[in-house]
Structure 1
Amino acid sequence: MKKPGKPPFSRAKDGDRRPPARNVPASPRNAGKPLAGSDAAFRRPAPDLAVIYGGHAVREALRANRRKCLDLFATAPALERLQAELADRDVKVHVVAPETLDARLGAEAVHQGLLLEARPLPALDITDIEVKSGLVLALDQITDPHNVGAILRTAAAFAVDGVIVTERHAPDFSGVLAKTASGGLEHAPLIEVVNLARALDQLGDAGFLRVGLDSEGSASLEDTVLSRPTVLVLGAEGKGLRRLTREKCDVLARLDMPGAIKSLNVSNACAVALTLARQALNQQA
């Protein structure tokens, strides 16, 4: 594991961007005024681009500066609210009508007048995890973008050191997920692995306590003795943790609910688990 303080993220190369669209003026570095643009500039993105929409998601993508931001499609009022974030960013700006964004994203999408096309986040590996908070999340085939987005938002709020997902059973990290994460996608280090069981082996070898959240756990999470660093492993709703994932955990713990409802949505369960784990680790400090 890398020592605290070492920058974990590799930057995208400056040349890693698409050629500018024809007949569309590029924005200056200091975007003081909305640029003239047309709906014709609003085209389907290439497959290797992430589509991010919504006020918080777009603003944090620009602020965090972890990914290469290429084209911003915005209504004039929404663009006015982003002048500070655009001041030092080389992003091509297109002023479009709200209906153009509706046509692209669908009438149900709450885009708030903003859509950003950008490169995917830099790829991270297990070895890129920097132990700071002492907490990592591992998601065992949680595929619903709303749940994963909410988990990433919570992870960013708790400053977790990493969120591990599997490559084949995870949602696309843009669109609905990025909107639900409300900017958390840009701040929670995301690590995609081919094999979660192997990743848990690596974490165990690195000194992580592996705690699987399971309704059939032998002890409650509140009564479980945690050590720093800890990885909390969450399973998909309904399915829970897979057998091999359970076997790789050092402890299986449950969340005890005192009320009439005994189960929580996985994203809510994640928030409760992080709260309890953070309290337990802080008491040891």
Structure 2
Amino acid sequence: MASNQVLAGFHAVQARLRHAPDSIVDLYVDTSRQDQRMRHCIQQIEAAGVRWHAVDATRLDGLARGMRHQGIVALAHPRALAITVDEVLDTLEDQAEPALFLVLDGVTDPHNLGACLRTADAAGVHAVIAPRDRAVGLNATVQRVACGAADTVPYIMVTNLARTLRAMRQRDVWLVGADDAAERSIHQVDSRRAMAWVMGAEGEGMRRLTRETCDELAAIPMRGSVESLNVSVASAVCLYETARQRLLPD
């Protein structure tokens, strides 16, 4: 069990059933829950050929380790997605769509990371990148908050973030750092090229070396009294500005 991922709740379990049912080792269901959502999920489980066990809520509470499980918990092998930036870029070489990355410079809150992954999936991000030594990994809380996006968007943790960013620049990925003090707006950034949005950590922002490695800095226009946005909200604003621009006619 220690080597398996714990997937708790409908979103996380159903996403794994859709994308990699063979990775599920065991699945546990509270059959005292008889609503339509649970019946539909059991149908999906059985259609995928995954074995499941009827257990009580107390057993599920222990398996979920404090997470909200909604009556369903799966134990699964970690799913293999792309593990390097080069691997992602190589797969995009023959596609018309330019690369889009989200770089998180030290996000340590699993709820923020889960929300970032969920937005990244929705906005068409090809991979999320973070430093290995000062960021949260794909733990069970991240899996739950991401609502299945951790199974679709590669989360690549790198030993040296600045070195990785320089390597991305060598492969023509434009690096844009979100910075409240920047003179240019995110709406002035050309998001139609291969690019990465670089976001700072909660409260601290980007590290100096990360900021200096960016090709340009851009600010989210703020018209109210608050000075900054939560990193997951800021990521969503930046990513959807890119999505908007890429829908515009040439």
Please classify the TM superposition score into its range, dividing by the shorter chain length: 0.7 to 0.9
Equivalent residue for 2:87?
Answer: 128
Alignment counterpart, residue 282 of structure 1, candidates 229, 247, 250: 247
SS of aligned partner of 1:150: helix
Aligned length: 239
Post-superposition shift, 1:178?
0.7
**Aligned counterparts of 2:15 and 2:194: Cα–Cα separation in 1:** 28
Post-superposition shift, 1:173?
1.0
Alignment counterpart, residue 263 of structure 1, candidates 216, 219, 228: 228
Instruction: State the identity as a percent.
Output: 34
SS of aligned partner of 1:95: strand
Post-superposition shift, 1:284?
6.2
Residue range with higher mean Cα deviation, 127-136 or 183-192: 127-136
Answering whether residue 141 of structure 2 is matched by residue 183 of structure 1, we say no
**Aligned counterparts of 1:179 and 1:235: Cα–Cα separation in 2:** 23
SS of aligned partner of 1:143: coil
CA contact (8 A) 1:66 1:122 kept: no
SS of aligned partner of 1:262: coil
Equivalent residue for 1:201?
Answer: 166
**Aligned counterparts of 2:249 and 2:173: Cα–Cα separation in 1:** 16
SS of aligned partner of 1:80: helix
Post-superposition shift, 1:65?
1.2
Which one-letter code corresponds to 1:121 in the other structure? R
Equivalent residue for 1:52?
Answer: 7
Q: Please, which runs of 5 or more residues in structure 1 have no aligned partner?
A: 1-44
Change (3 A) 1:226 1:105: closer
Structure index of larger Rg = 1
Which one-letter code corresponds to 1:118 in the other structure? A
Alignment counterpart, residue 239 of structure 1, candidates 204, 210, 213: 204
**Aligned counterparts of 2:132 and 2:49: Cα–Cα separation in 1:** 31
Equivalent residue for 1:82?
Answer: 41
Answering whether residue 74 of structure 2 is matched by residue 119 of structure 1, we say no
Alignment counterpart, residue 91 of structure 1, candidates 50, 67, 71: 50
Q: What TM-score, normalized to structure 2?
A: 0.88
Which one-letter code corresponds to 1:150 in the other structure? A
Q: Deviations over 1:51-76 (max 9, x none)?
A: 11011111001111187111111112
CA contact (8 A) 2:125 2:153 kept: yes
**Aligned counterparts of 1:158 and 1:217: Cα–Cα separation in 2:** 24
**Aligned counterparts of 1:243 and 1:67: Cα–Cα separation in 2:** 43
Q: What TM-score, normalized to structure 1?
A: 0.77
Alignment counterpart, residue 273 of structure 1, candidates 235, 238, 244: 238
CA contact (8 A) 2:176 2:214 kept: yes
RMSD over aligned Cα atoms = 2.0
Structure holding more helix per residue: 2
Alignment counterpart, residue 73 of structure 1, candidates 3, 11, 28: 28
Alignment counterpart, residue 62 of structure 2, candidates 80, 103, 112: 103
SS of aligned partner of 1:278: helix
Change (3 A) 1:67 1:188: farther
CA contact (8 A) 1:52 1:174 kept: no
SS of aligned partner of 1:81: helix
* Aligned pairs (5 A) from 1:29-44: none
Residue range with higher mean Cα deviation, 114-123 or 64-73: 64-73
**Aligned counterparts of 1:278 and 1:112: Cα–Cα separation in 2:** 33
Q: Please, which runs of 5 or more residues in structure 2 have no aligned partner?
A: none
